[in-house]
Each structure stands twice: as structure tokens, then as C-alpha cells.
Amino acid sequence: MPELPEVETIIQNLRRGNTETPSVIGQTFASVQVFWSKSIFEPKITQFERQLPGQMIMDTRRRGKFLHFPLSSDHLIVHLRMSGDLSMTNNTNPNGEVKQPDPHDRVFFHFQNGWRLAFKDTRKFGRIWLVPDPELVLGNLGPEPLDHNFTAEDLFMRLSSHKRQLKPLLMDQSFLAGLGNIYTDETLHLAKLHPLRRSNTISPEEAKILLSEIRSVLKEGIRRSGASIDWAYRGGDFQNYFRVYQRTGEACPECGTTIERIKVGQRSTHFCPQCQVLSKYP
DNA sequence: CATCAACCCTGAGAGC
DNA sequence: TGCTCTCAGGGTTGAT
């Protein structure tokens, strides 16, 4: 499930290209094929198919878990949700025949030079927008955790203004943009904070540690090109370095206590009951 | 405001 | 073997 590091990895690959594949920057759309109509959230498909051809990709950006492509006129925005992926491929096989879509291909963006951007999405939760103003889609997102203008004091103030459970709050994209289930569990373990701690009981010092560990986990995820989980995004190897996520019943790397799993806000949550104590906080 | 259930989907894994 | 059932997961929506 792509979270900030996986999205960052994908956007960097699209930006840089490689020896076999060109960058998406500077590519001009020729046509679009939509195989699953619900993948296009806005505008309606007919308008989407009409509006995109002729526009050039000017840049690649990431905002939270969104991929953002400023175009010559509009903005193309993609959210991969659970199982989405975006990759550049050639339109034709070596023998010259046109490649047929795989069962999980949902959208093909064809470029004028014969390359195409493929949107794969097994579980069909992904969403694509084509809008004149990116703020229409990205406007409600919270701060970027890796943005240096975002400080521990800012985080402390934001935590203090709510009385919510820490984990669901950190996963709330309007509170902070980019953390999902994996990186939140890993962060809270590193910061030695219980997932059910009330946000308004966090001290300024704890907020400082929390932000530091958020950044540390995200940067390690990016350095390892993200985590490859099940059917989802493949490429990185951060899944081999999880400390608590999906390690229920295993020993805590800090203290050896058995990792527990509970449900928090409808999400499975992994933590160490020894390192991450709740009892003293009502 | 905070919480929660339901929903959108598929495929893996369990149970029979 | 092959069927049915359960579940995960991000984000939205509507109810409590």
C-alpha cells in the first residue's frame, strides 16, 4: 500500500527515467484509454479523453500520497490508494506488435512519441483527477512531514488542539500528509508512544522526538525505495526492516517483549506493550 | 469534535 | 481438488 516513501520512489523514477525508459517530463499526451471508468474521478470520462491530448507534462511533484503532474494547461493528479502503480512502458513489443493491456491495467496514457504511462490498480481504489487548480484536490492536506518549515513546535500545537488517539490522528491526511498504517506503527514504536495515547497529553519534548522519528522512518523508507507488500507496489525492500509492522508474536527488537496486535480506528495496529506504555495516561 | 460502521474492490489464505 | 468465507487496506460518507 503506497505511503509517502513508495509514492516518492515512483515519482522519482518517473522523473528520472532510466537507460531504457525516458522521463515523463516533456512528454505530450496523444490519447487516453480507460479500462475501468471509476479510476477517473474528475472530470467525466468524455471530457477527460478530450482535454488531455496535446498537453505536455511540465513537472513531477508529490504531495502527501498524491502524485501531481503540472501540465501545460491543467493538472493531472493521481492517488494510488491500496494497489495502484504508475510506470512508463513502450507501446510495442520488440517484434512490432502493439502490447495488449494486462488484466490489472486500468488506464493507458499514450504519448506522441510512442511511449505510454500505464496505471495499474488491482483493487480499483485508485483515483485520477484532471483539474485546472491542484488545490481543488490537495487543498485539505496537512503539512508535509519532511518540510523543514514544519517544526516540532508546530506539531506540538497541532497535537494539543485535538483529543484524539495518536495513531488515527497521525494517519489523518488533513492532520499530517503521507503516513499510512505501516509507517505510523513503525514511527510510534521508535518514539516509544502508545497508539492510543491522547494527542493532547503529548509533551513538547515527546512531540520533538515524534517528529524526529517520523522523518527518520520516512527517510529510511525512501532510501530503501519503499516497502513491497503482497500484491501492492514492488521494488523496495523496507519490508525486511519492519520493527513491529506485521510482526505480531515476534520479539520486540528493543526489549524482546512479544509484539501485540490490536484494532485501532478499524486498522490493525502493531506495538510493543513494554516499550509503548499507556497506563499512566488517563 | 471524536468515533464508528459501511462502502468501494480483489485475491490470499483458511476452513471444510 | 474446489468451493465458500473472512479479511486487509486508504479514504470517504453518513450516523451516533
**Mean pLDDT, each 10-residue run in order, chain A (282 residues):** 88 92 97 93 93 97 94 95 90 79 92 93 91 91 94 94 92 92 93 93 95 94 82 71 89 92 88 87 60
Report chain A's C-alpha Rg in angstroms.
20
Distance of A262 CA from B4 C1′ (whole Å): 16
Protein-covered nucleotides of chain C (CB closer than 7 Å) are: 8-12
**Cβ neighbours of residue A67 under 8 Å, at least 6 residues apart?**
A7, A10, A11, A14, A60, A61, A77, A78, A79, A80, A86
Strand C contacts in A 190-249 (CB under 7 A) = 246
Element (H, E) at A276: none
Select from A257, A2, A277 the least CA-distant residue to A121. A2
Distance of A267 CA from B5 C1′ (whole Å): 13
CATH of A152-271, one of 1.10.1660.10, 3.30.465.10, 3.30.930.10, 1.10.8.50: 1.10.8.50
For position A249, what pLDDT does the model report? 87
For position A90, what pLDDT does the model report? 85
Q: Which nucleotide is nearest to A162 (CA to C1')?
A: B1
Asked whether residue A46's C-beta has any atom of DNA/RNA strand C within 7 A, the reply is no
What residues of A are annotated to the active site?
2-3, 65, 267
Distance of A162 CA from B2 C1′ (whole Å): 9
Task: Provide DSSP, A226-273.
Answer: ----TTS--S--GGGG-SSTT-TTSBPTTT-PBPEEEEETTEEEEE-T
Other Cβ atoms closer than 10 A to A257: 13
Asked whether residue A41's C-beta has any atom of DNA/RNA strand C within 7 A, the reply is no
Q: Does domain A4-138 have CATH number 1.10.10.60?
A: no
Other Cβ atoms closer than 10 A to A97: 8
Asked whether residue A65's C-beta has any atom of DNA/RNA strand C within 7 A, the reply is yes
Asked whether residue A126's C-beta has any atom of DNA/RNA strand C within 7 A, the reply is no
Asked whether residue A3's C-beta has any atom of DNA/RNA strand C within 7 A, the reply is yes
Distance of A264 CA from C9 C1′ (whole Å): 13
Same fold, A4-138 and A152-271: no
Distance of A181 CA from C4 C1′ (whole Å): 29
Q: What does the buried/exposed string (b/e) look like for A149-175 if buried means 16 or more CB atoms within 10 Å of the residue's CB? A: ebebeebbebbeeeebbbbbbbbeeeb
Domain ranges of chain A: 4-138, 152-271
Classify strands A127-131 and A40-42 as parallel, antiparallel or unpaired: parallel
